[in-house]
Structure 1
Amino acid sequence: MRLILNIIWLVLSGLWMAVGYVVAGIICCVLIVTIPFGIASFRIAGYALWPFGRTTVERRDAGAASCVGNVVWLVFAGWWLALGHVITGIALCVSIIGIPLGLANFKLIPISLMPLGREIVPTDQPFATR
């Protein structure tokens, strides 16, 4: 079932959302100082491309720097990526078949707003952190 949902997700919204994250990552990497944000953006792009069967958990070793970084990310990139998830999620929830995909879009909003200090893990191992 995960495979089917992931394929439908990829066609309907995953590819476009992943492109948004890749664009944000490229912009962040070009600016040199924001390379950690670019790396986080590329990591989330993979998650946005194929979300079913994976989830996010907080990293235990994340400190104050990730909190400050999340605020910077929220101001410059997070809000428009989250807005893309909200718009796409509402559009997908219009049809009965798209409701699981719309809910997956809403699931991605917290990590799009504050990606630092989070790790993407398989759903069968939600407590497996480094």
Structure 2
Amino acid sequence: MNLIGNVIWLIFGGIIASIVWFLAGLIMCITVIGIPFGVQCFKISKFVLWPFGKELELGHFGAGGLTFNIIWLIVFGWEFAIAHLVIGAIFCITIVGIPFGLQHFKFAKLGLIPFGAKIH
């Protein structure tokens, strides 16, 4: 089931979303200060490309991760989270879209606090 979900995901926007996250990471890596944020965008890009069958575990960060998560949340994390929550809610309107909506809810959590998140 995960393979079918991932293939459908790729066809209907997963590749585009992954490319957008990857480009955001490249833009953030232009400056030295933005490199840690760019690396997180690359991590999210990889997760967005093949999300079915993967679980997200949050909360494994130290003092540096907490600081970067706060900066991320203030600067752009809340926008990513709201966007994924809205898209997930739209998908959950239909029964067929519920699995895709649930994936967007995972992206919303990762969009809020990416530093220290583990993807299994």
Under TM normalisation by the shorter chain, which class is it? 0.7 to 0.9
Whether 1:5 and 2:5 are equivalent positions in the alignment is yes
**How far apart in 2 are the matches of 1:2 and 1:12?**
15
Which structure 2 residue ranges, 5 or more long, are not aligned?
none
Task: Specify the alignment match of 1:105 in structure 2.
Answer: 104
In the TM superposition, residue 39 of structure 1 has moved relative to its aligned partner by 0.7
Task: Specify the alignment match of 1:125 in structure 2.
Answer: none
In the TM superposition, residue 17 of structure 1 has moved relative to its aligned partner by 2.8
RMSD: 1.7
CA distance 1:59–1:84, change in 2 (3 Å): closer
Local SS of the residue matching 1:30: coil
Corresponding residue pairs, total: 120
In the TM superposition, residue 51 of structure 1 has moved relative to its aligned partner by 0.7
Task: Specify the alignment match of 1:124 in structure 2.
Answer: none
Whether 1:36 and 2:39 are equivalent positions in the alignment is no
The TM-score normalised by the length of structure 1 is 0.81
Task: Specify the alignment match of 1:56 in structure 2.
Answer: 56
**How far apart in 2 are the matches of 1:43 and 1:74?**
16
Paired AA for residue 76 in structure 1? V
CA distance 1:81–1:114, change in 2 (3 Å): same
**How far apart in 2 are the matches of 1:18 and 1:43?**
10
Q: Is the 8 A contact 1:13 1:88 kept in 2?
A: no
Q: Is the 8 A contact 1:21 1:81 kept in 2?
A: no
Which 4+ stretches in 1 moved above 6 angstroms? none
**How far apart in 2 are the matches of 1:72 and 1:117?**
14
In the TM superposition, residue 83 of structure 1 has moved relative to its aligned partner by 2.4
**How far apart in 2 are the matches of 1:49 and 1:94?**
23
In the TM superposition, residue 31 of structure 1 has moved relative to its aligned partner by 2.1
CA shift digits 1:69-88 (9 cap, x unpaired): 00111122212222221232
Whether 1:91 and 2:90 are equivalent positions in the alignment is yes
In the TM superposition, residue 7 of structure 1 has moved relative to its aligned partner by 1.2
In the TM superposition, residue 29 of structure 1 has moved relative to its aligned partner by 0.3
Identity %: 38
CA shift digits 1:25-68 (9 cap, x unpaired): 122101221201111110111101111111122475x3100001
Bigger fraction of residues in strand: 1
The TM-score normalised by the length of structure 2 is 0.87
